[in-house]
Amino acid sequence: MPKSAKKRALKPAVTPSKAAKLARSAGADPNKKTDAGSKQARVIAMLRSPTGTTVAAMMKETDWQQHSIRGFLAGVVRKKLKLKVLSAKVDGTRIYRVDGADSYKAGGRSAKPRAA
């Protein structure tokens, strides 16, 4: 028997620490996407307010840097959650807010039928 086969045969499939972690996670709600008190949830709540929010306010709330806020808006809010991020400049300050989930379609280009 090759050495690698011996190691695979002797190694347990689930270690005790993994079993404990699986047991803890089994009680969690599988439909729940984020923790209600998480930084992401707080930022999304700020964006859902009718007045919107600024990058500076989001930075203060989360202790994230400016580029992390912008990446979160583009990657998570816009692409993953498919929310339309609206921005407007009010008195020289950029204000961000989100529109409803149904108003944005992800994917960019529409599919066109190709000629055969």
Q: What is the pLDDT of residues 47-56, one digit of tens each?
A: 999 999 999 9
The reply to whether 80 falls in a domain is yes
| Consecutive H or E run containing 88 | strand 85-90
pTM: 0.57
DSSP code for 103: G
CATH code of the domain in which 94 resides? 1.10.10
* Contact status, residue 70 vs residue 51, Cβ threshold 8 Å: no
Q: Which range marks the domain in which residue 86 is found?
A: 36-101
Q: What is the pLDDT of residues 62-105, one digit of tens each?
A: 999 999 999 999 999 999 999 999 999 999 999 999 986 444 44
Number of domains in the chain: 1
State the virtual CA torsion across 69, 75, 79, 84 in degrees, nearest 10.
20
